[in-house]
Each structure stands twice: as structure tokens, then as C-alpha cells.
Structure 1
């Protein structure tokens, strides 16, 4: 990532000064095809969009202190409209701004905010809501509602939902919460006083002794796909992006009769001796392969080394696709163009991406005619 503002110490000033940045939102239309893929540019002239979530004809984007929606109204594959939905989130510390935009049922977008950001935000309807320090929140897709649904941890750089709808998060630092099942309205420990309610008790450690090592866990990808995914021995596994150690850790969760989770460390999926390898996000694609975003930077710390140090790489980045040798190249169905009657079939797919794409279409099309079928299935 490269901007004209790297030497400006105050993030607030950076947002004001930069009329246009050098960052872009890219789209890989068919990432599952063989060979390197050339992306198309959906939006450019951006400054550090730290989270992007596709939705209908556009994307939600965290851009500085704002949540914006970029839409493609004429269908040419390029954003032509830009709307600020929610304004005024804290930007005091760029690596703790709101992040991990994640679509959840009921027309909500969930997200997390780290411990050193605070502000009073203005919603799309003009309502003002304080949102300070370490909080877990959600906003409605129209930007008119904002709710706090949890508090604590210092930086939650993961929001992964399994095929049963259970959400997993983790603390960026290895403080006993490198894996945690998210419970709504719970307070997790933090460097700062962050309480969901004034009398909240703090959630006990969930992964003591797991010992992944590192201070920047930045993503969880859940392997649950018996149709196009990894073989059986790699099913029900959490793959954790660990940029500090240059590894993809493997963790198997289990839950007892009381609903309490425990976690077993497995052999790492990947360990690299390339000092530039910095996996900062992981996600399973529609083809069942694991995609890894690699920041590709020898220096990844934020305070210890100056921002203009010559060893910092501000232009390069890599995306890796990891495929098990047993996986056949997959032709991914176009769920968006599927007939209404076919959507329940897609919903029942063992491939999580395909199932969720069907859920999104059923919601988007408001297909109440499918309710009897869905009831029978349930």
C-alpha cells in the first residue's frame, strides 16, 4: 500500500490532506482458474481502506473515520457512486480502527474496533452515537442503526462464522484468547476499561496453553466443505493467519455437552522462511481452496521502526491459493443468476460460500414463496 501521507504523524491530518490516495479496490472475477489472475479495478484514489465487504451492486468500505458504500449503478464493473453511511469513527490509531466487516443475518454488518480508537459517530439518519475503545458492534445495511454487541479484547482481527452460524473471534495477541467463540453482550479483557455493561464480568480465557505465538493474529478461515474442500483430515479446522511468525497455524475446535469450547493445536499448515511473507488474511474461496493475502513486507511492526524506513515495502503484495493435491479444479456455480426454484438446492450445498450466496439471494429477492420448502428442510 502506498500513499502520499506516510510521513504525516496525525491520522486526522492525513485524512484531511489527502485529496486522493493511491490505494484501490480490486476484483478477481474468476480466481479459481489456472495461472496468475489479472484483477480489474473497482475503485481507486483511496487511502487505506482497511475493510471491504461486497454487497449487492457494490461494496461497504471502511475509509478513514467513515463507513462508505461504493456502488456500480450502470453495471460496467466500476464503482460510480459513493455514499458515506456512517461518519466519525475513531482514527487515533490506524491499526485499531473499525475493521472485519462481516455480513450477518437480519440485515446487519458486524465489525470490531480496537483499544485506541474512540469517537462519536453520525448515522445516516443524523443520530449521533458514542463508540469508544474496544467494542464489537453491528450496523444496519442502510446505516441508520448502530448497536454495541460486545466489549473488550485489544484488537479482534477475525470474525469467522462456521456453517452452523457460530462466530469465532480472536485477540491479536497471544493472551489466552487466540481462539474464542463469540458470545453476545459479553465483556472480554482489554488493555483499557471496556465493559459491555457497568457490572459486566469478564469472560475467562478460552485458549490457555494453545501457544500459537505471535502478537498479530489477523484472521481465521474455517475448513468445512466436504464437497469441494480439503480432505477429511483437514475438515473442522481453523486456519489462523500469523504474520509475525510467517505461518498459517492449524487449530481444531471441539465443544462439550455444556457448550464449552476447547482447542487443539495441530501441525502448522504452512511455515515460511521467507522473511517477507506476512499472511494478514485467510479465507476459503468458492472453489474450496484456501486464499491467503500476504502483505509481503520485511517490517510489519507499527511503532518500533519509522514509517519512512527504506526496508518497508509499500507497493508489493501477494495472494496465494492453497489447494490440496486431491482437489479437482472446480467450476463455481453462478448463484446470482440461479432461478428462484434452484436456490434451496444451493442453500443445502456443503460448500459454505455457495450456501451463503444462496442465502443472500433469497434475502435480496425476498422469496417468501420458498418459506414452505425452508420449513420442511428445517
Structure 2
């Protein structure tokens, strides 16, 4: 009988283990027959997908069978159903992947997405499930025999007692029906079935803390509890787990390291260039596929090397990983010869490059941060300003994506300028070892981060400017084309997170109320309070740049064509362009709002262009009722340095304009081989533009300040300061925030035009917290 004390997380879990453990049971009583060397594959929806990132089920099985040298590969995919499993071009079908991993045993997690169709969908689900079982029984993924198939029901929907989330009553009614239907089909087909629905309902009732983040997706400790229930049901005769809690956690961390390499291979970013249509592009008879498929082989070998360490740790050992057996990389010759080619010449130094810039009349530019000052400042792709007015940047030295033979150095860095001399004092790594960070924005006391195929929530809880809370908040972003997967992060006046996404990508996401699938190019919207997702506005093929003006009007840009649209009019009425396009491709856009600059510049629309015209264009915005147009005026800056690649623009806490420079001779995916040696991974800059003779904006620090101290920001005539005040309040208690905002707003005069903006900002705080204001 299993020693249950090693798996206890609550009194209920202990009870379940004792009830489900069968006295004098034999191995034949186990639902799964484990043999030495078995290869286990997970398939299914977000439940399976998230299993690899918590790894409790796999860890427990390794601990129970330490001599068996088991191999686990997770093929889970958020949004998957028994019959419907959308993938990007040439990804491969489920049977192909199961054959690739040579599965002896398959753990299938289905039913959540199907159950959203309600009772009417049951006949189709049971038919599809039976067909899937029959089909899999006819396969020999390991080359010799049919797989052992074990099916798991969906978990129950947890009631988090949140005003923003459903209580789960409707979902649980349907989930119970689908669980019963799965059990019936499995019994008829002779397939082992594990009920997670009923045990999880009991776990929720007895848990001291919520086990899910949104009612349907388990947190790490919730995954642990559910895994223990699954283990008790699957292995009633299992041997005692000898490891103590510390040893189990050590084993789990080693499993997680192995899973990282497999996840990076299976869900490789830039799939369209690895195995899709652009993989066939070739230079000097060497294609992207030649290069990238070899890297996939390297990932496979590195994952297998880490299997060996898992096996050692399961037995109490500590085998060092040995990667000396990796296949050799495919050599790629440079596609473009230039004096800036690595080894033939140097990039201009950060300050020296300023000599190549022409700046608008009255303005000047200085170097704020560079790789010369901070080695982490490599290839900055997006910036954001925190609620204390400090500049943060995401850096992407692994572009186009992580090479497994290199360290993971994609990061988000904080660049404070406490002495206000216009130069970063230091570079603090807020978050490290990320993968292809394409966008981020502050919200809810933390940061929402796009690292396809996921959106993370990162938060610093101890004040050291380093993220110590890391939660996968949303899974299912497509990663077929990374720089078009999720960019231009911005929190709208309504509190939604807006991002832009381009072609080749196939999104599959799960929410508490629906399965969201989309192949459309355009602006998407995610509500971080309700976890709901929607398609917002069509623009493409590859949108980059999304801004809101002071009144909440939204303007989106397409990067490929360079055209821009007034979203408020375009939505439902067609894609209306609001300025005459002159340049392309556009990497980012912004609106200049700063008392540091003259009135003629304030409210102007800015565009970062990174090929041909290398600089920041400026457009004067004109309002004529509902007719909003923009006309190009003098550029903010333009450079003749061919390596200057402006990727983003922000108005900083001091009111200056900050421009991030990718600093690269090569740019773009399809123009050069993915591993062209001229792709630079050693340079990156942020430049700062100010206006001569005018005072900077007075700093307004809000982070952690009393709400009463934050609210006066709404009276300041700077968009960014008011925006950051709303971001700060998004992380505060809803009741306290809305009550104090209402009290403060009651003192404003609605007849005073100078206070109209502040009143609007107050209403937006209510909308962000999803609380109607009835006053």
C-alpha cells in the first residue's frame, strides 16, 4: 500500500489516498501497467499542457518507479478537443507526434472544451471519443504494440467567489455529464478512466487556499493536489514512495528542467520558419528547414540527456548532464556582406551613432543606455514605464528564437535614472531566462508579459525589483511567427489588455466560459480580471503599434504596410486609414504628451520605422468632431546609420522621448536565414530626445503610495502620468479604490472643462475594476 503521508496536502487528500489504496492489491490492480523503459505521452487540453510546467504527476510516478527509467513527453495543447486540434501549418498531426515520441502509454485529458457545448453536444462527444479510442488502439506508436491508453476527466470548475468570474454552477453541470459519458465510453471500450471531476470538487471544499487561478486552470499547489488524487486512483498497489518532501522537490525541479527543453522543442517559436511555409526559403542552398530541423534534433538529444539525470535523481543520485553528444549545427554563410559584418568591422558606438542622426528643430538626443554601459542591453524590442516613472525594456538577444546551445538571456530590465541626468544609473534584471519576449505592460501590481505561446503575470513582492511571482496567466498564443504573435501591449481605458497579432498564427485558448480560436490578423483583447478573450479589430497582415489618445480613441497600425486605422470608426464600418502612409515597415507607434515639449508637439502621433527611413516620424493630429486625421510634420529624428532600427517609443517619467534601438545590420525573418551570422546579438541602445531650454516633467511616484496620493495625477495634463495612475490603481483592492475614487471625484466640478479629463479618468477606474458607478 502506498505511504500516503508523503503525498498529503490536506485532510481530504489523505482520506482519498486511504480509500483508494487497496489492501493487498497487486500490480494487476493498477490502472496502468508500468514496465521498465516505458515512454509516456500526455495529450489533451490545458490540463495536460499545464501538467508539464508543474510536473507533479510525472514526479510522483518517477518516485514510485525509480528503477524503471521512464520517459515522459508532453504533447498537450491548450484548447484541444478529442476531434478538434488546430495547429499552424505543417506542425504535424497527433498520431505523427505520438509516433515520434514512441509512446507506449498515453495519458489523455479531454472534456473541458467539449462540455462547453452543453447537453446538446454529448452525442457527438461520445461518438468522437469512441472513434478516437478505436483509432489509437489500432496504432503502434512504439513500432511494436498498441499503446496503453488512460483517459482523465476534466476537473471541476472552482468557485472563487469573485464578482468577475462565474461561480462554476453552469460549467459543473455540464462537466458532470461529460465525465459520466467518458466513464461510460471507457468502460465499453476497456480503457482505464480516471475521474478528476468529483475528487477535485471535494478538494476545493477542503482547501485553505484557492487551487485554481480562474476557476478552471490549476495553480502549482492545485496541480499537486489533483496529481495526488490521480496517483491514488491509478496505482492502488504502488510501492511506498521513499523520498521525503525535500527529495521530491529536488526531483521535480530536475523534471522541470528536462520539460523546459522538450517544451521549447515541441512548442518551438517561429514554427512557420522551422517546419512551415518559410522553412523552405534557402540561401546558398541552405534552407531554414536544414538549419532549424538540426536544432530540433539538438533539442531532442538535450532532452534525452536530461532524462538520464531524472532517472538518477529518482534513485537519489545526482548525475551531471553531459551534452557532449549533440549533433553538429548546420553552417550558414552570411547572406549580406557589408562593412558592418561581424569580423569585418564594428558597429558605431552608442554615442558615436548620434552623429548620424538628424533631430527636429529645438530638440537634442543623448544616449540613455547601451550595451557598452550594461551588457544586458542587447536588442531591446519594447519599453514601458512603471508607476514610479522608471523605464523598463524587454531585450531579445536570442532573436529569432533561443538556440538551445546558448544561455537563455531574453530578459526584462529596469533602467532607473534617480539622479535625473538623462542617463540610466544601473540595469536591474527584473525577469531573466525568458523566451522571445514580444511585449509587456504593467497591470495589477505586476507585469503582463508575452513570451509566446504564453502570457505571464510577473510580480515583485519584496521590493528588490526582481520578479518573484511568476504565473502562466494565458496559454495558447500561437508561436508560429514570434514577432507577430503578440506585440504592442497596451491597457485600454476599459482595463482590457490589447495586443496585435499577425499572419501564420493559430490561437487556441480556454476561458471560464468558452474556447477561443482565431487565425485572424488584428488587435485582440484579453480581460485579466475575467480571463475572457475576444477579437477586437481587423488590421493586417502584421499589425504593430496600438495607442489610445487622452479621450480613449484608439489607433492601430499595420507593420508590414505601414498603414494606420482609427479603430473607433473602423470597427464594424471597415478599416479606415487616418493618415497618409509614407514609410514601412512600422515597428511601433505612440502619442507625444509631455509639458516638456512645446504645444505644437503635444498630442502628435509618432511612428517608429525600421527599414528605409530609419527614425521616428511625427504627425499632427486634427480633431473635427468624429473626423480624426493626422498629417505628417517634421520627423522627431532620422538616422543615416544603416544599423539604427527603432523598435519602440515611450514618453518617460521625465517627459522626454525614449527610443529603443534594435541595433542590427539584419532585420526580419524571411529576408535572411534564421541563423545568418550577420544577425547581431551584441548591441542595443535606448536614446533620449529632449527639447532645449524647457524644464523636464516633475517626477510623480505612485508605486505603493496611498490612493489619496495617486488621485491628483488625474489632474496633470500628461497622458502617461494619468495612464500610470490607472495602472497603479488596477493593483489595489477594488472596494477601497472605487470608494476613494468616487469620494475624490465628488469634489470635481463637471462644469469645469479643466476637470473633465479627471472625471473621465475616474470613470475609467470604475470600468477597469468592473464596478458600475451609479452616481
TM-score range, shorter chain: 0.7 to 0.9
Q: Partner residue of 1:248?
A: 616
Q: 1:23 aligns with which of 394, 403, 410?
A: 410
Question: How much does 1:126 deviate?
Answer: 8.4
1:206 and 2:578 correspond: yes
TM normalised by structure 2 equals 0.43
238-247 vs 7-16, which moves further = 7-16
1:358 and 2:743 correspond: no
- In structure 2, the gaps of 5 or more residues are 1-263, 277-292, 300-401, 750-758, 760-775
1:84 aligns to what SS in structure 2? strand
1:188-237 CA distances to partner (integer Å, 9 max, x unpaired)?
xxxxxxxxxxxxx6324433xx24222x21212212233xx211221221
1:225 and 2:594 correspond: yes
1:370 aligns to what SS in structure 2? helix
Cα contact 2:500–2:543 (8 A) shared by 1: yes
Cα contact 1:11–1:92 (8 A) shared by 2: no
Q: Partner residue of 2:659?
A: 292
Q: Partner residue of 1:318?
A: 685
269-278 vs 110-119, which moves further = 110-119
1:334 aligns to what SS in structure 2? coil
Q: Partner residue of 1:370?
A: 741
Q: 1:181 aligns with which of 532, 555, 566?
A: 566
1:117 aligns to what SS in structure 2? coil
Q: Partner residue of 1:196?
A: none
Question: How much does 1:163 deviate?
Answer: 1.6
1:356 aligns to what SS in structure 2? helix
1:10-32 CA distances to partner (integer Å, 9 max, x unpaired)?
28998994677221110123374
Cα contact 1:7–1:307 (8 A) shared by 2: no
Give the direction of change, closer, same or farther, for the CA distance of 1:11–1:166 in structure 2 (3 Å limit). farther
Instruction: Report the count of equivalent residues.
Output: 354
Give the direction of change, closer, same or farther, for the CA distance of 1:121–1:277 in structure 2 (3 Å limit). same
More helix by percentage:
2
1:150 and 2:537 correspond: yes
Question: How much does 1:166 deviate?
Answer: 1.6
1:60 aligns to what SS in structure 2? strand
Question: How much does 1:92 deviate?
Answer: 1.4
TM normalised by structure 1 equals 0.84
Cα contact 2:269–2:480 (8 A) shared by 1: no
1:49-198 matched pairs, under 5 angstroms: 49-123=437-511, 125=512, 127-142=514-529, 144-174=531-561, 177=563, 179-183=564-568, 186=571
Q: Partner residue of 2:700?
A: 333
- In structure 1, the gaps of 5 or more residues are 188-200
Cα contact 2:439–2:449 (8 A) shared by 1: yes
In 1, Cα distance between equivalents of 2:700 and 2:429 = 23
Question: How much does 1:81 deviate?
Answer: 2.4
Give the root-mean-square deviation of aligned CA atoms.
Answer: 2.9
Question: How much does 1:142 deviate?
Answer: 4.0
Cα contact 1:174–1:212 (8 A) shared by 2: no
In 1, Cα distance between equivalents of 2:741 and 2:531 = 29
1:156-198 CA distances to partner (integer Å, 9 max, x unpaired)?
21111122222211111346x2x322127826xxxxxxxxxxx
Cα contact 1:115–1:133 (8 A) shared by 2: yes
1:244-297 CA distances to partner (integer Å, 9 max, x unpaired)?
12111111121223x122221112121101111000111111111000010001
1:308-360 CA distances to partner (integer Å, 9 max, x unpaired)?
22322123111111111123344412123444333332111112222222233
Give the direction of change, closer, same or farther, for the CA distance of 1:103–1:22 in structure 2 (3 Å limit). same
Cα contact 1:86–1:143 (8 A) shared by 2: no
1:121-175 CA distances to partner (integer Å, 9 max, x unpaired)?
134x485211222132211224621122222321221111122222211111346
129-138 vs 323-332, which moves further = 323-332
Cα contact 1:223–1:284 (8 A) shared by 2: yes
2:713 aligns to what SS in structure 1? helix
Q: Partner residue of 2:435?
A: 47
Cα contact 1:71–1:81 (8 A) shared by 2: yes
Cα contact 2:417–2:424 (8 A) shared by 1: no
Q: Partner residue of 1:309?
A: 676
Cα contact 1:218–1:241 (8 A) shared by 2: yes
107-116 vs 287-296, which moves further = 107-116
Q: Partner residue of 1:238?
A: 605
Question: How much does 1:369 deviate?
Answer: 3.0
Give the direction of change, closer, same or farther, for the CA distance of 1:69–1:342 in structure 2 (3 Å limit). closer
In 1, Cα distance between equivalents of 2:468 and 2:705 = 26
Question: How much does 1:35 deviate?
Answer: 2.9
In 2, Cα distance between equivalents of 1:112 and 1:184 = 18
